[in-house]
A and B are shown apart, each in its own frame.
Chain A
C-alpha cells in the first residue's frame, strides 16, 4: 500500500493548513503582546519639567 496522489493531497493540505494557522496565531500573539508591552512602557514615561 502506498500513498496515492489523493492521500498526499489530503495529508499535505491538512498539515499545511494546521501548521500555517498555528504559526500565524503564534506570530500574532507575539506581535500583539509586544505592541501592548511597548504601549504600556510609553505610557509609563513621566516627563518632568
Chain B
C-alpha cells in the first residue's frame, strides 16, 4: 500500500500528544486511591516493578508495531498484525485494536462531559451550599439521572443537563478529530497539556500550603494526607491483589492495550526515533501521576475530612473522591474556592479530552487508510458510533451500562489485547525483527535486557494477570454473580441493560471484523486481477 499519510508536525508535539493520550482521569483520581488502599508507599514497589516489566516494554512494543504498520500504510492493528504475522487470523485479532478503544471512548466521553459540567458549576458556584456528603451525593445522582425523582427533585429535574454537556464534549472531540493529526490532535495537545500541568501545579502548591485548615483538629492536616499515601505497609506486599492492582494501574495510566498508541505511532516516519520518545511519554505520564496526581485529592481530603472519613471515601470509589469530596472542599477554601474548583475540573477535562481523541483516532485511521474515506466522512462515522454507546451510558447509567463497558472494554480487554500484541510481536514476528524495529533510529541505547523481558517476562506477567482477573472478576461478572463496581449480584431489573452493553461491545467487534474481511477480500481480488 502506498498513499500519502499524515505526519506529526513536530517531535515535541508528538510527545505532548502521546503524553496527553496517557495522562487521563486515572492519573488524578485512580492512582492516589489505589496507592492509599494498597499499602501506601509499599504500593510503589509493585508499581515500579510493573512499570519496568510491563509499562515500558509494552510502550516500546506498541510504538514499534505502530511505526512498522505506518511505514506500510496501515494506521490500525488489523493491517499491522497481518504484516507481522502471516496468518489469516491476525487481521481479525487486530480488529480488537479498533473495537476496544471505540467501546472505551463511548463511555469515557460521557465521564469527560461530567468534568466539563462540574468546571462550569464551580465557576458559577452552582453547588455552593451543598456541603454534606449525603447532599452532594444526591446532587451528583440527580445530575447523572441516577436519583429516584418520584419524591421530587432538589437540583436537577432530569438527565437533560448531563446530556447537553455530553453533546458539547462529543462535539469538541469530533471538531478536533476532523482537523486531523497535526492541525487537530497535535494542536490540542500543545494547548491542553501545558494548561493541565499549570493547573495541577497551582493546585499542588495550594494543597501543600494548606497545612492544618482547622486548628481545633490538628490531626487533620495535609502532612497526614501524605503520610496516608506514602507510609509503607510492607505486609501488603505478600498480598497478590496488591501486585495485581499495581499492574492494572500501569495499564490505565499508560493507555496500554487500547490500540491508540499504535495509531499515533503510525504517523511517525520510518527511521525516526521511537525509543526515547516512548520513554519520554512514560516519564511525563508518571510525573503527572505520582508527583502531581498523588499530591492533590487525597492529601486535601485528609486535611478537611480527617483520615477515617477519607479512607471511607477512597473505598467508595474514584468518582466519590473527585465529584463529591472535592466540591465540598472547594467550598471551604474561601473566596478562591470557585477558582480552585474550576481549575480542578478543567484539569480533569483536559486530561480526559487528550485521551478521548486518542481513543477515537483508530476508527478514523482505519476508515481513512483502509477504505480511503475522507476525514469528514470518517469523523461522521466515528461520531455516530461514539454517540450510540454514549447515549446508552447517558440514559442507562443507573442500570450499570457504563460499569459493564468499563469492565470489559476498559479493564479486561486491555490485558487480552496486550497479551495478543506482545505474542505477535515477540513470537510471530520474531524478537530479533522486533528488536530491530525498536532500536532503529533510536536516540538512546535501549538496554538489551529488555529483549529478554519482552520475549519472556512480559507475556508471562500478562498471562498471570489474565488468569487472576478471569478467576477473580471476569467469571463472576459474566455469570451475573457480582457487579463490576460493587460486591453484590446484579439486580434482576438491570440484566437486560447489561446484556445490551455486552451486545453493543460484541457488535462493535463484529462490525470491524466484518469490515476487515471485506477490505481484505477486496484487496485480494484487486491483486488477483493485476
Contact = CB atoms under 8 A, between A and B. Distances in A.
Interface of A: 1-4, 6-11, 14-15, 17-19, 21-22, 24-26, 28-29, 32-33
A24 to B, nearest CB: 8
Nearest to B228: A1
A14 B44 contact: yes
A6 B231 contact: yes
A43 to B, nearest CB: 15
B40 A7 contact: yes
A15 B227 CA distance: 15
A10 B443 contact: no
Nearest to B11: A33
Contact of A10 (B12, B15, B41, B284): B41
A10 B230 CA distance: 7
B287 A6 contact: no
B276 A3 contact: no
Nearest to B289: A18
Contact of A18 (B11, B224, B290): B290
B100 interface: no
Given A1-B231, A1-B307, A6-B231, A29 B280 contact: yes
Interface in B215-241: 219, 223-224, 226-232
Given A19-B291, A29-B12, A32-B273, A3 B226 contact: yes
A18 B41 contact: no
Given A2-B227, A6-B41, A11-B41, 16 more contacts: A3-B227, A7-B230, A7-B232, A10-B230, A14-B48, A14-B290, A18-B286, A18-B287, A18-B290, A22-B284, A24-B283, A25-B279, A29-B12, A29-B276, A29-B280, A32-B273
10 contacts: A2-B224, A3-B223, A3-B230, A7-B227, A7-B231, A14-B48, A15-B291, A22-B280, A22-B286, A26-B284
B277 interface: yes
B220 to A, nearest CB: 10
